[in-house]
């Protein structure tokens, strides 16, 4: 089973080299660096494993990508972590607007919303992007396969060409780490 997973991942990584992800990674990093330099923040959303990825990447920005390279923190908040809000809102109003409500309340013009949806069709993620657009926020989507509806509504997106949720999420982590590292390089405030 492990050999099969490695084989699938190797094939997917080889296919990624032929896509324009390198240019898009650079664009996303510049977009985020500009937002941070302007005093804006990053909001992140996702469901299930993608919620965990949103939390993971928020920690990388707020903390540091490498503990040996201390730097100032970048303001990043995973909207998947406030259990009191999440359970109250979903109990009273359902899940479709769980993230859009937070974006409407916490988002500001110039902030960035980073959305994870392996299918690209999660209704609550799409609603969050709509809310971000209405607040003049920039939007980046991470999805899989053909990107679903998410690629059509985000300012930029990374659609991993796979039907495997597992492989898509693994590549999302690779892309997320690479973008964060590039943001650190752009801002140049890593202290050794």
Q: What is the pLDDT of residues 8-65, one digit of tens each?
A: 888 888 877 766 788 899 999 999 999 999 999 999 999 999 999 999 999 999 999 9
Write the pLDDT tens digit of every residue in 159-190: 999 999 999 999 999 999 999 999 999 998 65
CATH topology of domain 2-191: Rossmann fold (3.40.50)
DSSP letter (8 states) at residue 110: T
- Give DSSP secondary structure letters for 126-179: HHHHHHHHHTT-EEEEEEETT-TTHHHHSSEEEEES-S-HHHHHHHHHHHHHHH
Write the pLDDT tens digit of every residue in 53-111: 999 999 999 999 988 888 999 999 999 999 999 999 999 999 999 999 999 999 999 99
Q: State residue 191's pLDDT score.
A: 55
User: What is the reported pTM?
Assistant: 0.93
Q: Residue 45 pairs with which residues in a beta bridge? A: 115
Task: Tell me how far the alpha carbon of residue 1 is from its chain's centroid.
Answer: 29
């Amino acid at each position: 089973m492990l050999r099969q997973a490695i084989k699938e991942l190797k094939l997917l990584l080889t296919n990624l080299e032929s896509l324009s992800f390198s240019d898009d990674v650079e664009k996303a990093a510049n977009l985020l660096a500009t937002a941070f330099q302007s005093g804006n923040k990053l909001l992140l959303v996702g469901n299930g494993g993608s919620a965990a990825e949103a939390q993971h990447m928020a920690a990388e920005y707020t903390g540091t990508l490498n503990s040996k390279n201390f730097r100032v923190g970048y303001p990043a908040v995973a909207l998947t972590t406030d259990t009191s809000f999440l359970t109250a809102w979903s109990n009273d109003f359902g899940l479709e607007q769980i993230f859009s409500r937070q974006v409407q309340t916490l988002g500001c013009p110039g902030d960035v919303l980073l959305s994870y949806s392996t299918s690209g069709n999660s209704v609550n993620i799409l609603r969050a992007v709509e809310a971000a657009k209405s607040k003049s926020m920039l939007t980046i989507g991470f999805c899989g396969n053909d990107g679903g509806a998410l690629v059509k509504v985000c300012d930029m997106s990374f659609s991993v060409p796979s039907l495997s949720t597992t492989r898509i999420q693994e590549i999302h982590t690779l892309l997320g780490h690479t973008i964060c590292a590039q943001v650190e390089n752009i801002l140049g405030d890593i202290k050794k």
